[in-house]
Structure 1
């Protein structure tokens, strides 16, 4: 099946609500690697990589986010690069 890698920007009420923490927990549950970073404009950047099925599951989850967040929109960009092992937050 191969692996996929995406960089996702999430907009809405996504900072100060545990978004990165819950994103990391979900990514680890799915055995994905990457990062979740707060950006200065109030959005969150998530870079995820792993097996196609798990990545697609994570993309669906990111459209909603945790209960504490209010996701207004996401931008999904395919990436030719793959993050190193683990899942990190800033």
Structure 2
């Protein structure tokens, strides 16, 4: 299993980005969390099994909801402990 950490910058707060990320995660059966950072960015952490799933998840997240505009993103992929909760949550 892999941990994917995505930090998105641009017009990503106040446009429903966290709910969009949860919808994508639920559709793909990805566990993890999404939250707003104090610097105006949004951070998404997901736990996925395969490289193909990681690529698809990252690309869908980077699209964002209709009112968003992702100007910059960073993606970090690291091996992860397989004993992760099986939910995706929106954090404050």
User: Which TM-score band (shorter chain)?
Assistant: 0.7 to 0.9
TM-score (norm 1): 0.88
Asked if 2 retains the 8 angstrom alpha-carbon contact of 1:32 and 1:55, the reply is: no
Partner of residue 4, structure 1 = 2
Cα RMSD for the two superposed structures: 1.4
1:8/1:75 contact within 8 Å kept? yes
Instruction: Name the structure 1 match of 2:87.
Output: 86
Equivalenced residues, count: 88
Q: Could you list the structure 1 runs, at least 4 aligned residues long, displaced by more than 6 angstroms after superposition.
A: none
CA distance in 2, matches of 1:27, 1:54: 11
Deviations 1:8-48 (A, max 9, x none): 10000000100000100110100001000100000011001
Q: Which runs of 5+ in 1 are unaligned?
A: none
- The answer for unaligned runs of 5 or more in structure 2 is none
